[in-house]
A and B are shown apart, each in its own frame.
Chain A
């Protein structure tokens, strides 16, 4: 298999979906000749110019119009330039896209993907750095995924496009230029399946998005210190693959949850509650720990920004503290 960048694997998925289904198209700001703020659609123009609907700066109506197109049979992919700007479109995400199927007794469906880069680490400060997957995961009717590897981003984007529900597709900015193996051609990764990214027997690290590579790196270092950690990539918050997580914790007896977004009411609390409501509770040798972002807007200063979200050393420290305290 060849190694590809995350951003290239994502672009490949988009191009292949354009080719596969004439109803798939994309809407967003600066996605034409400019290639999108992060370069995801770079080089697609002019070949796919009929597929790339470049919009004014009008997030509310971009999403609203995509909902309308989806209702009548199209399968839009919306690119929101930064996930923060989805806040302008919340009405059409939460009150419209998420509810139209249910409210109409199953008459309507909204096959829509809203993709957006999220997360801190680029110095873009409070209004361009948020990770808000938990906010969307709270809304019945939305699916929420956050692929962490090039393989997953290609396979999950395809599943998201082919799914008949609105899917919130969150890409951490720092992942775009990471590399990994990606097969040529068509394959999918199912929505709602977690993945064991590294096997281990002593503790389960449940991570999402950018925290997956950080947790794998931490696990490799912990191995040198005699702690064999299993790393689970949650991949999809809704639906959530509780089975894989519960089975792992039954095996290891210990768990930490590592989140990029801030802690208060974050998705890790949901994972934690699923675990303690399950059989895994009886197998726990130590209270489940959560490591998440600080409850602050993302600051500009680089040292403060770094301190606002978990780093590899924080994961190592938290895991070691569990073993030292036993």
Chain B
């Protein structure tokens, strides 16, 4: 493999962080320790990690309601994320936002979004700003297959096409928008084919192969930095768990889920690292253990943090 061992192990670790973070969140949710709702990214880790591996720390991303993975991949602090999920003053949004609104300005993460497709025009605007200021940054816009059927998607990609914006639109096609299968919500088979309408390249990647995601996003980033414009990338993947907290998954079969679990992106990278002698099983185990410790620390930090003060309710309404 051309990539350095360091980079490959970084990818592995990030995916493990996302997986373990999400499983911890799921556990806390089931214990009623997390309020509201949240949408977990288990099974889709390779898309966020492969894409963010191709970015600089100053590049921007926009995320979605299913945003923990993107946020971790871009470099967020697990402690502040967990604190936000527990509604604490030490969380990224000081307990005001919760799962669907985590933003981390320090890593160029312009934020998760409670509104499906809410981030697509915002990413377009960030990319426009980079073009106007000629700052060399690119913006990666993550969104789902469901979001690709909004008017905002069409309007934004057309703008990116006419203005040759430094934007990479990554559609995480996990086959469903909530209960609605892509086959019933989307007139075309491959969302990437829509790129033709915007006169930009459209690519399809195996969203459970972190290295493939990385290669394709990297090419798109290079194009964008050279001023050659935007790319639409469709990453085919699958969410292992329910859409949100109380989803009995009546719209799909357990067999389909098992088939996809065989394509576990973490296991796939692990097996490659071993077979190509990049890392030893012991090194991989050590990463798992390190991450388990980080997650426990994040949880302890969050649980021991103070709640926001009720008298500060109206703080932050205006700048």
Contact = CB atoms under 8 A, between A and B. Distances in A.
B317 interface: yes
A307 B312 CA distance: 10
Interface in A106-133: 122-128
A76 to B, nearest CB: 19
A135 interface: no
The secondary-structure label for the interface of chain B is loop
Contacts of A295: 314, 317
Contacts, number: 117
B115 A85 contact: yes
A301 B97 CA distance: 8
Contacts of B313: 294, 296, 299, 304, 307-308
B218 interface: no
A304 B251 contact: no
B110 to A, nearest CB: 15
B180 A61 contact: no
Contacts of B314: 294-296
B178 A29 contact: yes
Contacts of B113: 127
Interface string B92-129: 01011110110000000000011111100000000000
A295 to B, nearest CB: 7
Given A125-B101, A297-B317, A304 B308 contact: yes
A58 B150 contact: yes
Nearest to A82: B114
Interface in A54-109: 54, 56-61, 84-85, 88
Interface string A8-52: 000000000000000000000110111001000000000000000
Nearest to A308: B313
A58 B251 CA distance: 20
By size class, the interface of chain B is 35 or more
Contact of A125 (B98, B146, B251): B98
Interface string A177-201: 0000000000000000000000000
Interface string B294-314: 000000000000011010011
Interface string A299-320: 1111110011000000000000
A302 B35 contact: yes
B180 A124 contact: no
Contacts of A60: 150-151
Q: Which DSSP category, helix, strand, loop or mixed, fits chain A's interface?
A: loop
B75 interface: no
Interface residues of A, number: 35
Given A54-B180, A57-B177, A304-B95, A127 B149 contact: no
A163 to B, nearest CB: 29
Contacts of A61: 151
Interface in B71-92: 84, 87-88
B146 A56 contact: yes
A37 B177 CA distance: 12
Contacts of B177: 29, 56-57
Contacts of B115: 84-85, 88, 127
B114 A128 contact: yes
Given A30-B179, A85-B115, A128-B114, A123 B96 contact: no
B184 interface: yes
A126 B95 CA distance: 12
Nearest to B310: A307
A126 B97 contact: yes
Contact of B151 (A58, A126, A296, A303): A58
Contact of A303 (B118, B149, B307): B307
B186 interface: yes
A32 B114 CA distance: 23
Contacts of A308: 313
Given A57-B147, A123-B37, A126-B101, A303 B179 contact: no
Interface string B26-42: 00000000011100000
A30 B180 contact: yes
A50 B307 CA distance: 49
Given A57-B146, A296-B314, A126 B180 contact: no
A59 B95 CA distance: 29
Contact of A33 (B84, B116, B146, B179): B179
Interface string B207-228: 0000000000000000000000
Nearest to A85: B115
Contacts of B88: 301
22 contacts: A32-B179, A34-B251, A37-B178, A54-B184, A56-B149, A57-B150, A57-B180, A59-B150, A84-B114, A85-B115, A123-B37, A124-B114, A125-B96, A126-B101, A126-B114, A127-B118, A294-B313, A296-B314, A299-B96, A300-B35, A300-B96, A301-B308
Given A127-B113, A304-B95, 6 more contacts: A58-B151, A59-B150, A127-B101, A295-B314, A300-B97, A301-B88
Q: Which 5 pairs, one residue from A and one from B, show the smallest C-beta to C-beta distance?
A: A123-B36, A127-B114, A300-B98, A123-B35, A34-B179
